[in-house]
Amino acid sequence: MEIFSQLGSVIVGLYESSGLCHLGWQNYVMILISFVLMFLAIKKQYEPLLLLPIAFGMMIVNIFPEIMANPVTQMLTADQVAARGLDPASYPTTSELLTKAQVIAAGFEPSALTHVNVEGTEFYKVVYYTVTENGGLFYYLYQGVHLGIFPPLIFLGIGAMTDFGPLIANPKSFILGAAAQIGIFITFIGAIALGFKTNEAGSIAIIGGADGPTAIFVTSKLSPELLGPIAVAAYSYMALVPIIQPPIMRMLTTKKERSVVMGQLRPVSKLEKIIFPIVVVVLVAILLPDAAPLVGMLMLGNLFKESGVVDRIAKTAQNELMNIVTIFLGVTVGATASGTLFLTPKTLGIIALGLVAFCLGTACGVCFGKIMCWATKGKINPLIGSAGVSAVPMAARISQKVGQEENPANFLLMHAMGPNVAGVIGSAVAAGVLISVLK
């Protein structure tokens, strides 16, 4: 009989410690959202490198929230340390002098404490042990996001993978990269109008740059408390570029404009490619020091690649380092989307404004593409303007895809890579402006 009652208590204990007992409806909603994101990543292959770890992190944190728990420091008395079966010698101690009344109010037995006489007054010495409980696994991995370490490292890898040749061959692409950043500043006004604080509005607006690392970097400087929703929104929109951009591109261009075939780009010499990252860093870091960590690492990675003398380092930055940081960044960003913190009106507002910023960026890029098409008498296809939002290389790929729908023999990819990589530099510059004004 006793066996059955013990079995029953074990089962009740297991049930009470399980997610079934602790999870709220918000957690279940987030778990469902994570399933949708996993479906988009695996079945539709929308930026699976990012979306899959984000979705998995989102799922696991809503099932087991302690994985993201902060470390806890407790001050325990000798009795409490003994009750927990801990070794008192392993923990640092602090002591406090209390009067008799304070000792009784705190529930200690005065006779068990050491007496101390200070200038005629009797005190009791209470010794506390500082016991620190470690945080969850993702808490420690998240520090790379929280301290703004991962974004520049990701930029190092992007730089080592990026060929700036199309941009050097056609520097006018920078205009499209700049135009796509206008959405950031327009959204800033919208966020202020909706009642967000200036620093929060700056973090929300940078989502329009469609550059996850930049959004995280800016938010960690301006409003770290919004890091979770902003990172999730930025990466989700980057992953959803194939859904969001094409309708805007088709709406703003005519069939004739979409069919424009662009001339071949001139070949770019190795020397030009080597000088490019140095020139960009010197100029941007002098004019906008706040953008230096992002642009500096981006261009360092590119210099590794183009110099051709540090092949091993370039390959590490492109592959191993980039992949490791992407795993940690993706999983921990997803893990910030805990149901109770995430499903709030403020977060929904951030996600809605982020979408507006992203759409505005795309639209501004396409509109400037149309202006350039008109100015060059039809030599530039306006579709490459949408690639001015960063999201490398997905945005350029969308320009290529939409262009090819009109004319299958039209190859816009390399032309779109110009504004695309210009967009990376442009969003880093915009980030520098936001940080320097709002910090």
Partner 1 sequence: MDNMMLALSLLLAGFIIVFVVLILLIIIITVYGKIIQAAQRSSKNRKEKKNMVKTVKAPEPVKAEPAAEVKNTMPDDENGEIPGEIIAVIAAAVDAVYGSKPHRVRAVKRSGKGRSAWGNAGVISNTSPF
Nearer to partner 1, 230 or 331 (CB): 230
Which residues, in sequence order, are bridge partners of residue 188?
Answer: none
Which residue is associated with the tokens 């209390």? 98
Task: Looking at residues 287 to 346 of the shown chain, list those that interact with partner 1 (rule: CB under 8 A).
Answer: 287-288
Among 51, 103, 226, 280, binds partner 1 (CB under 8 A): 280
Q: Pick from 353, 323, 324, 342: which is nearest to 58 by CA?
A: 342
Which residue is associated with the tokens 């989700």? 236
Among 55, 61, 158, 201, binds partner 1 (CB under 8 A): 201
Give the three-class secondary structure for 132: strand
Does the footprint of partner 1 cover residue 46 (CB under 8 A)?
no
Neighbouring residues of 414: CB distance < 8 A, sequence distance ≥ 6: 166, 265
Instruction: Judge contact between 148 and 217, C-beta under 8 A.
Output: yes
Nearer to partner 1, 141 or 389 (CB): 389
Does the footprint of partner 1 cover residue 356 (CB under 8 A)?
no
- Can you read off the two tokens belonging to residue 437? 């004004």
- x/- mask, partner 1, residues 154-183, rule CB under 8 A, reads -------------xx--xx-xx-xx--xx-
Task: Looking at residues 401 to 430 of the shown chain, list those that interact with partner 1 (rule: CB under 8 A).
Answer: 409, 411, 413, 422, 425-426, 429-430
Among 69, 135, 185, 341, binds partner 1 (CB under 8 A): 185
Task: Looking at residues 249 to 278 of the shown chain, list those that interact with partner 1 (rule: CB under 8 A).
Answer: 268-269, 271-272, 275-276
Neighbouring residues of 324: CB distance < 8 A, sequence distance ≥ 6: none
Does the footprint of partner 1 cover residue 189 (CB under 8 A)?
yes
- Can you read off the two tokens belonging to residue 336? 């910030």
Among 47-55, 120-128, 188-196, 369-377, the segment contacting partner 1 (CB under 8 A): 188-196
- State the minimum distance, in angstroms, from the CB of residue 168 to partner 1: 6
Neighbouring residues of 257: CB distance < 8 A, sequence distance ≥ 6: 370, 373, 381, 382, 383
Beta strands in 47-190 (DSSP E): 72-77, 93-98, 114-118, 121-133
CB atoms within 10 A of CB 406: 17
- State the minimum distance, in angstroms, from the CB of residue 272 to partner 1: 5
As a whole number of angstroms, the distance between CA 74 and CA 69 comes to 15
- State the minimum distance, in angstroms, from the CB of residue 96 to partner 1: 46
Contacting residues toward partner 1, per CB under 8 A: 167-168, 171-172, 174-175, 177-178, 181-182, 184-186, 188-189, 192-193, 198, 201, 268-269, 271-272, 275-276, 279-280, 283-284, 287-288, 393, 396-397, 400, 409, 411, 413, 422, 425-426, 429-430, 433-434, 437-438
